[in-house]
Amino acid sequence: MARVFVTGSADGLGKMAAELLIEQGHKVVLHARSAGRADETRKKIAGAEDIVIGDLASIAETKFVADQVNKLGRFDAVIHNAGIGYREPELVKTADGLPQLFAVNTLGPYVLTALIRMPKRLVYLSSGMHYGAGSHLDDMLWEKRRWNGSQAYAETKFQDVLLAFAVARLFPGVKSNSLEPGWVPTKMGGAGAPDDIDKAHRTQVWLATSDEPAATISGRYFFHQKLRDPDPFTKDVERQSQLLDLCHKVSGTALHKS
């Protein structure tokens, strides 16, 4: 059985993935952004090994999350599930001066990847909205353009695939993959989302724990446990490096090549 850390597991797909992992007999450490949500999560999810606390919108708190995880020992897999949606009509900046969408959806997974002891497997949640969203890597922080929440969200999901593929390239001993869960009726997806909610959380659990040959490859993109071609620009090493360089610059944390 595997030991898995799941970010953003207080509700939504993260909660569903954590519950399935526990049901399958795996050891699971949860994550909530505040102490209050952590208390609620402990009541909602039975059988978790532990829970760590920290708001991924804050660089300092994200680093604290990594510290808490490392103190718990080594993990077999980390599922980078935490994320916020695209319904932001105005640009919201964090205390670090970054767009909140970028901070949570992109920089959070980057910092945790850089600081948590490297597990055997890493899983990054993207979205079908990532297709065609890689044209503005020179303005990832929205300093030049007029804000567009939907576009900003799509760009962070493109960046999540870039990150997954960069890690797969730089750390050949790690299985690093990305996936889209589908447009499902979660709090983020909305009640009218058409895809099957029962399938939405299974691919990340499968990639984190399964010994099936299809789940033990790296640097690939999945949908419902099947390979899917990502936006071809996510495989561009120069674009991957551009993202890593920016994340290093704004967070002060380097992703050291193995």
Domain boundaries, the chain: 3-251
Please identify every residue annotated as catalytic. 153, 157
What are the Cα distances from residue 128, in Å, to 69, 212, 240?
A: 30, 25, 19
pLDDT(197) > 90: no
| pLDDT score, position 185 | 46
Average pLDDT over residues 62-90: 94
3-251 belongs to which homologous superfamily?
NAD(P)-binding Rossmann-like Domain (3.40.50.720)
Taking the model in full, what pTM does it have?
0.94
Who contacts 22 (Cβ-Cβ below 8 Å, separation ≥6)?
28, 45, 46, 47, 48
Query: Burial letters for 158-177: b for 16+ Cβ neighbours within 10 Å, e otherwise?
Result: bbbbbbbbbbbbbbeebbbb
Position 183 scores a pLDDT of: 57
pLDDT band at 86 (very low <50, low <70, confident <90, very high): confident
With residue 32 as reference, give the H or E element that holds it: strand 27-32
- Reported as a single tens digit per residue, the pLDDT across 12-56 is 999 999 999 999 999 999 999 999 999 999 999 999 999 999 999
Rounded Cα gap, residues 159 and 10, in angstroms: 24
Residue 177 has pLDDT above 90, yes or no: yes
Q: Biggest alpha carbon distance in the chain?
A: 49
Would you say residue 190 has pLDDT above 70? no
Q: 190 vs 252, which has greater pLDDT?
A: 252
